[in-house]
């Protein structure tokens, strides 16, 4: 510290600027990524707990394919509203197209293409692939969508403090 104090002011300013830029880079590369992973993991846990509670409460076996169907219905909402599966209307939202492109690196235009792309994947793998692609905001929206669907959520945000509200560094 004495060495730093003995330096001229100009050099101290240069050192301070480099330290500040290094701290910003560290926060963007390490801390922000770890925070995002933590929040995604927390939201995934909330989603899976919701399905486990639903299974216990209603004594219905909930499979991963049912969760995939819920995810696909939400991703393609409002085109999938009042339909049996998300491909029934033949129309797809931008979010649906983006998620399918990120997961399968090709455009999925109908149910046949989707079934062909997922025929070697288990329901658990598909759920994980979809949840990995979604952002924190989208995971929060899916969670509130599911809770509103069953009438458990009457608030606008079920997650008391939206996680994206405090992302200062993005």
Name the nearest CA neighbour of 47 among 131, 162, 112, 154: 131
* 10-24, 30-44, 136-150, 152-166: the lowest-pLDDT one: 152-166
- The DSSP call for residue 106 is S
Give the C-alpha separation, 115 to 48, whole Å.
24
Please tell me whether the overall predicted TM-score, pTM, comes out greater than 0.75 for this model: no
pLDDT digits (tens, 9 = 90+) for 33-68: 888 888 899 889 988 888 888 888 888 888 888 889
Q: What is the pLDDT of residue 170?
A: 41
Q: Are 44 and 146 in contact (CB under 8 A)?
A: no
- The residues, any chain, with a CB within 8 Å of residue 117's CB and separated by 6 or more, are 104, 106, 108
Helix (H, G, I), strand (E, B) or coil at 45: helix
User: Residue 126: its pLDDT value, please?
Assistant: 92
User: Do 147 and 158 form a contact (C-beta atoms < 8 A)?
Assistant: yes
Cα–Cα distance measured from residue 132 to residue 126, given in angstroms and rounded to the nearest whole number: 10
Q: Tokens standing for 120?
A: 């070697």
Report the Cα 120 to chain-centroid distance in Å.
24
Residue pair 117/111 in contact (Cβ under 8 Å)? The answer is no
Contact 111, 85 (CB under 8 A): yes
What is the pLDDT at residue 125? Answer: 93
């Amino acid at each position: 510290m004495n060495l730093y104090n003995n330096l001229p002011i100009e050099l101290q300013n240069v050192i301070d600027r480099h330290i500040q830029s290094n701290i910003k880079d560290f926060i963007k590369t390490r801390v922000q990524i770890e925070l995002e992973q933590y929040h995604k993991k927390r939201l995934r846990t909330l989603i899976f707990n919701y399905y486990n509670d639903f299974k216990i409460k209603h004594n219905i076996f909930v499979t991963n394919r049912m969760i995939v169907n819920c995810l696909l219905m939400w991703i393609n909402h409002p085109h999938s509203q009042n339909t049996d599966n998300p491909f029934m209307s033949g129309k797809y939202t931008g979010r649906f197209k983006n998620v399918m492109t990120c997961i399968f690196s090709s455009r999925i235009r109908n149910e046949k293409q989707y079934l062909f792309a997922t025929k070697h994947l288990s329901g658990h793998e598909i759920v994980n692939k979809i949840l990995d692609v979604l952002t924190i905001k989208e995971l929060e929206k899916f969670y509130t969508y599911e809770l509103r669907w069953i009438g458990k959520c009457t608030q606008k945000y079920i997650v008391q403090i939206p996680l994206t509200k405090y992302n200062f560094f993005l």
